[in-house]
Amino acid sequence: MSNFTVWSLALGLSLLCVIAGLLLHPAGKDSARVEARLRSIRAPDRIDEAVEAAPPLWMRFVVAIGRKVLNSGLLSGKAIEDLKGTVTATGHRTNVALSLFVGAKLVLMVGLPAVGWIVMNVTGLHAQQLVVLGGCAVVGLMAPDYVVRSIRNKYLKAVEAGMPAALDLLIICAEAGLALEAGFERVAMEARDGASAVANELGITANEMKILTDRRQALMNMGERTGLDSMTRLGAVLAQSLKYGTPLTQALRVLASEMRHTMLTRFEARAARIPVLLTVPMIVFILPCIFLVVGGPAVVEVVRTMASQ
């Protein structure tokens, strides 16, 4: 039996032992079960799918690893808060999402070099082994960050696109006599199907306004969570309205108009870039066809004349 086979079997058995130990550990199962029950209590009309159906095996494995790392004390409190802020900016604010993110970074950082080492031994490519393994580790460490950044950008675009319509609904609620917290809850409930990202942010703000002693702090947290200028302005306008007693509906109308004007300006800027973006396709695909149609008969005639001579 070759050394490569022995090392492969040892690596496989080690991974199986780690997976079995993490999946059979009772603390992980109990915490996951408690968290699923809490989610179902928070949203009784929309039970999370994780309560009814167990997550895939690979996800439980990655989450278990992430939870072990977070509870082991290897990461400082500031590092955990930074990671939590990165994950919560995507709209996923459960501990499972944070554990999945940390576990994915660790598994990919260790797993990709292992896969690269196996591939190099199978194919016989032993040149620059350290460089390849180091590159695999870096890719595995940074790949979850890229995925989370992509999800975060998509989530923030959805929040920004749905804010003007949500403000219109909030204006209607304010004119109907609802308080600010009740208006936020009503808009979050109505926008849950059409604009889930905005509904998520408004629902969190409504819950914070009920819990925190200073409602203005809950409003300012909207901008800190997302980093969007529109959410920051909305929180500042509502906080100013609560502090000085200015008319709420008038301030919301002005803010909704400004947001729509900003979106229209952004769309006009995109439209102005279209001629520049079409230049390269025109040169590559359209101009050769025009040259062929215009100069093709002349070229054929020249070739025919030269052939006749």
pLDDT attached to residue 14: 57
Q: Does the pLDDT of residue 17 top 60, yes or no? A: no
pLDDT of residue 103: 80
**Mean pLDDT, the chain, whole residue set:** 75
Higher pLDDT, 52 or 223: 223
- Which tops the pLDDT comparison, 279 or 92? 279
pLDDT at 45: 39
pLDDT above 70 (res 47):
no
DSSP collapsed to 3 states, the chain: CCHHHHHHHHHHHHHHHHHHHHHHCHHHHHHHHHHHHHHHHHCCCCCCHHHHCCCCHHHHHHHHHHHHHHHHCCCCHHHHHHHHHHHHCCCCCCHHHHHHHHHHHHHHHHHHHHHHHHHHHHHCCCCCHHHHHHHHHHHHHHHHHHHHHHHHHHHHHHHHHHHHHHHHHHHHHHHCCCCHHHHHHHHHHHCCCCCHHHHHHHHHHHHHHHHCCCHHHHHHHHHHHHCCHHHHHHHHHHHHHHHHCCCHHHHHHHHHHHHHHHHHHHHHHHHHHHHHHHHHHHHHHHHHHHHHHHHHHHHHHHHHHHHHC
Lowest mean pLDDT among 31-35, 84-88, 133-137: 31-35
Report pLDDT for 36. Answer: 55
What is d(CA 209, CA 115) in angstroms, rounded to the nearest whole number?
A: 49
Which range is least confidently modeled, 76-80, 220-224, 284-288? 76-80
Residue 91 has pLDDT above 80, yes or no: no
Is residue 111 very low, low, confident or very high in pLDDT (cuts 50, 70, 90)? confident
Predicted pLDDT of residue 185: 87
CB crowding 261-285: b at 16 or more within 10 Å, else e: eeeeeeeeeeeeeeeeeeeeeeeee
Q: Which residue has the higher pLDDT, 5 or 286?
A: 286
pLDDT above 80: residue 158: yes
Neighbours of 195 (CB within 10 A): 22
pLDDT band at 1 (very low <50, low <70, confident <90, very high): very low
pLDDT at 7: 53
Domain ranges of the chain: 3-155, 157-263
At 117-139, the pLDDT tens digits run: 777 777 766 666 777 777 777 87
What is the C-alpha separation between 266 and 245, in angstroms, rounded? 33
Give residue 31's pLDDT.
55
Count the Cβ atoms, other than its own, within 10 Å of residue 65.
Answer: 23
User: How many angstroms separate the CA atoms of 104 and 145, rounded?
Assistant: 10
- Per residue in 285-308, pLDDT (tens digit) is 888 888 888 888 888 888 888 887
pLDDT band at 52 (very low <50, low <70, confident <90, very high): very low
In this prediction, residue 44 has a pLDDT band, given cuts at 50, 70 and 90, of: very low
Whole-angstrom distance, CA of residue 134 vs CA of residue 101: 21
Instruction: Output the CA torsion sign for 128, 129, 132, 133.
Output: negative
From first CA to last CA, the distance across the chain in angstroms is 76
Q: Which residue has the higher pLDDT, 89 or 155?
A: 155
pLDDT exceeds cutoff 80 at 166: yes
Averaged pLDDT for residues 252-256 = 82
The burial class, CB within 10 Å (0-12 / 13-18 / 19+), for 57 is exposed
Q: What is the mean pLDDT of residues 51-71?
A: 70
